Amino acid sequence: MHYFGFDIGGANIKWGDLDGNAHEIPFAIWQTPEQLPAVLNSITSSFPRDAKIGITMTAELADCFETKREGVKYIVDSVAESLAQFSPLFYQTTGRLCTGTEAIESWEQTAAANWHATSSYLYSIDDLHTSGFVLDIGSTTTDIIPVIDGVPVTSTQNDFDRLTNGQLVYAGIGRTPVFGILSELNLRGATVTIARENFATMADIFRWLNEIEEDLDSTATADGRPASRHHSRSRIARLVCADSGELDTNEIDSISHQVKISFVTLLSRQLEKVMKYHPGVPLVFKTLGRGAFIADEIIQKLATESPGKPPSILAYSSDTALNQSVPALAVAHFRAQHDQRIN
């Protein structure tokens, strides 16, 4: 038997298996939702016949859907249309897998359940560390989840409540517009208010700082031009309504570092908020996601400002593909466990 997991997001689809193979493709569901069944068919065309699939999702929040309930139903129906032969089951925030019919009936537990799958998985497979925090820094959002004895410690089950208590931060190292991170910066001895327009994203900042790689084939950028350092420089300059040639390299560096500092500060403050709500959770931090490279800096900033017992930072992997695909790997794992229990 072969087990696979899918994480169907609003901008990307990720999948993986029990051997730790992980993959990701861009898919902007809000632009072409009708293509989802065909995309899933294409991905699974080479899957073995005995494959079984577990699924989690966040794409239901995409604004092509009137409501999250509608989004869940559409995704479940698309899966049923394209993957029925793999007997798909859906992960819920109750920690269980369910059928498509049940996933639609209790859509609140199906929507945005990947954080629960991730945190449950990471601490359940580690006999040495069963309690601590998960810091998952993605391209769009960041999850900060306290875990005790392998179980996420939260009374919240939806994104609104998670935003309220700090466990969900709608900021990441990729798609987040820079104007959502800071409103002004220091340049040429003056305080400059940046343009409140999506001229540049956090990916441009980290790409310019050489913390993420160029992707010359990708035009999923603020201006539709390639994801290169050259074009990132132009997008960053546009934040202050300038052309690339109007600012020298040191000034582009300065803007980028100021934005990064604001991003790190934002996430460290949110981490502090969650930790204060859960003082009994050990200072063990399991870090993952596309932005895992900056997790140490966020945690250490907080540790420096609030001295005490030093934190233990455990990176999930040095492999970016694996770091980005943990929810998919998690639901593959839970699907295998599910079948073992019923057989």
- CB of 100 within 8 A of CB of 79? yes
Instruction: Give me 176's structure tokens.
Output: 């987040």
41 assigned to some structural domain:
yes
Annotate 128-183 with DSSP letters as a single string: S--SEEEEEE-SS-EEEEEEETTEE--S--SHHHHHHHTSEES--SSS-BGGGT-S
Quick one: CA torsion of 123, 125, 129, 131, rounded to 10 degrees? 20
- What CATH number has the domain bearing residue 53? 3.30.420.40
51 assigned to some structural domain:
yes
6 assigned to some structural domain:
yes
Q: What's residue 80's pLDDT? A: 97
Residue type, 142: T
Task: Name the residue among 152, 172, 159, 162 with its Cα closest to residue 273.
Answer: 162
Query: Quick one: which H or E segment has residue 115?
Result: helix 114-124
Instruction: Give me 57's structure tokens.
Output: 């999702």
Q: What is the pLDDT of residues 228-279, one digit of tens each?
A: 999 999 999 999 999 999 999 999 999 999 999 999 999 999 999 999 999 9
Q: What's residue 41's pLDDT? A: 97
Q: What's residue 154's pLDDT? A: 82
pLDDT tens for the 343 residues of the chain, in order: 899 999 999 999 999 999 999 999 999 999 999 999 999 999 999 999 999 999 999 999 999 999 999 999 999 999 999 999 999 999 999 999 999 999 999 999 999 999 999 999 999 888 888 999 999 999 999 999 999 999 998 877 789 999 999 999 999 999 999 999 999 999 999 999 999 999 999 999 999 999 999 987 787 899 999 999 999 999 999 999 999 999 999 999 999 999 999 999 999 999 999 999 999 899 999 999 999 999 999 999 887 877 677 899 999 998 888 999 999 999 999 999 999 988 7
Instruction: Give me 289's structure tokens.
Output: 């996601």
Q: What is the pLDDT of residues 80-121, one digit of tens each?
A: 999 999 999 999 999 999 999 999 999 999 999 999 999 999
187 assigned to some structural domain:
no
Q: What's residue 59's pLDDT? A: 97
- Separation CA 234–CA 12 (nearest Å): 26
Residue 209, CA distances (Å) to 145, 202, 265 in order? 28, 11, 17
The structure tokens 């073995």 sit at 48
**What is the number of domains present in the chain?**
1
Domain region containing 56 = 2-116+322-342
Q: What's residue 215's pLDDT? A: 87
Q: What's residue 304's pLDDT? A: 80
Instruction: Give me 322's structure tokens.
Output: 């694996």
Annotate 67-110 with DSSP letters as a single string: SHHHHHHHHHHHHHHHHGGG--EEE-TTS-EE-HHHHHHTHHHH
pTM over 0.85: yes
Instruction: Give me 14's structure tokens.
Output: 């990720």
Instruction: Give me 194's structure tokens.
Output: 């940046």
192 assigned to some structural domain:
no
Which residues fall within 8 angstroms of residue 203, CB to CB, at 6 or more apart? 139, 173, 174, 175, 212, 221, 227, 232
Q: What's residue 95's pLDDT? A: 93
